[in-house]
Amino acid sequence: MKIVYPHMGYMWICIKAMLEYLDVEVVVPPPSSKKTLLLGVKHAPEFACMPLKLNLGNFMEAAELGADTMVMAGGCGPCRFGYYAHVEHAILRDLGYQYQLVVLEPPQKHIGELLGKIKHITGHQSWRKVINGIRFGYHKAEAVDELEKTANYCRPREIKPGTTDRALQAALKEVIAADTPEKLPAARKRAFEIMRSVPVDRLRPVLRIGLVGEIYTLLEPFTNQDIERKLGGMGVEVDRSIYLSEWINEHLFLGLVKNKRSSKTAREKAVKYLGHFVGGHGLETVGNTVLYAEQGYDGVIQMLPFTCMPEIVAQSILPRVSTETGIPTMTLIVDEQSGEAGLVTRLEAFVDLLARKKQTGEVLA
């Protein structure tokens, strides 16, 4: 059994660690690229959103590397993502790929549902080992998230452009190379030393922008056209509203790990504007925007794949949130188009607006 799972940012690092620790053979698809998207667009229904197209491309590219079992997340709720595992499987079968399908669904009642599926993949491993494996993967996700957060802090402050990105890549390599839970703490330490070696100007004034929106678009830099790096280059410190480890803790461990940012606060904040679950991260998008406003951020950018229903609901509410809390918001919609100039113009204009607003605000204060 050679397992493949689709890309979502650096998620592959964490799942690969977990599965290889449990002696499962893993095929990591090549990073999502133009070729991946091209394959996906060719075979996916036109009005499906970009995540489906990229997942499909990932699976097709992985098949060339010998993968035979696809592991996909599932879900239930108004967002059609819940179908994706089955739709993708059916498309691949029609194309002649011989894939076995395992759908991992966030447990609705008990964590045992999920453990059962994991047991199916891992075979004869003891429960103890399985749980250790999951913990190992989770710790890797945490390390990667911390590194990304550090990079977001350094990027707008770096003295020589490009040093943060190079350091991040080197630091990630350290974390990836740790193949047992015992080696991870030391690797993590080395990785942070690399990040600390980036020369930064701590006194430089920066703008702070929060990123909200659909999880895949936020986590996968290929999809969002590297928005965090682009904003960093414009002198903006970015905070992403969802990090992988937070999501895992919330949805897979049902909040087992304490002292982690939870989307519960965000959902509570959203109630004033949106009273019920709309699927996906619609509620969180609204709520996080309110939170960012309260935390004194300069602006919020919402990202969503074209045709994403939960986010469209949130999008239509954001102008009201913006007027009532005073935080400027902007929505960016992504699809297979690679029109980068348009994206850069919008980002620059938004950053300009925030900078001017901050300047005049400071003069008045």
Partner 1 sequence: MYCYLGIDVGSVSTNLVLTGEDGTVKHSIYLRTRGKPIEVVQQGLKQLQEALPGKIKVAGVGTTGSGRHLAGVITGADIIKNEITTHAIAASNVVPGVQTILEIGGQDSKIIILRNGVVADFAMNTVCAAGTGSFLDQQASRLNIKIEEFGPLALQSTVPVRIAGRCAVFAESDMIHKQQMGYNVSDILAGLCEALVRNYLNNIGKGKEILGPVVFQGGVAANAGMKAAFEKALGMPVHVPPYYNVMGALGAAMLAREATNRKSTGFKGFGVADRDFKAGGFACDGCPNVCEVVEILESGRVIARWGDRCGRWSNLIPGEKIS
User: Which positions touch partner 1 (CB under 8 A)?
Assistant: 30-31, 33-36, 161-162, 165, 222, 225-226, 229, 306, 319-320, 323, 328, 331-333, 335, 341-342, 344-346, 348-350, 352-353, 356-357, 360
Nearer of residues 9 and 133 to partner 1, judged by Cβ? 9
Shortest Cβ 116–partner 1 spacing (Å): 35
Shortest Cβ 262–partner 1 spacing (Å): 30
Beta carbons within 8 Å of 70's beta carbon, 6+ residues apart: 3, 4, 5, 59, 85, 88, 89, 92, 99, 100, 101, 102
Shortest Cβ 128–partner 1 spacing (Å): 39
Nearer of residues 180 and 316 to partner 1, judged by Cβ? 316
Nearer of residues 31 and 123 to partner 1, judged by Cβ? 31
Shortest Cβ 225–partner 1 spacing (Å): 8
**Cα separation values, 167 from 145, 158, 195, 224, 233, Å:** 15, 11, 6, 21, 15
Shortest Cβ 344–partner 1 spacing (Å): 8
How many C-beta atoms surround the C-beta of residue 61 within 10 A? 22
Nearer of residues 201 and 352 to partner 1, judged by Cβ? 352
Distance CA 81, CA 103 (A): 12
Q: Which residue has the tokens 């194309």?
A: 95
**Cα separation values, 79 from 132, 147, 307, Å:** 32, 31, 11
Shortest Cβ 37–partner 1 spacing (Å): 10
Shortest Cβ 167–partner 1 spacing (Å): 13
Nearer of residues 100 and 360 to partner 1, judged by Cβ? 360
The number of angstroms, rounded, from the C-alpha of 23 to the middle of its chain's C-alpha atoms is 26
Residue type, 160: K
Nearer of residues 22 and 321 to partner 1, judged by Cβ? 321
Nearer of residues 22 and 234 to partner 1, judged by Cβ? 234
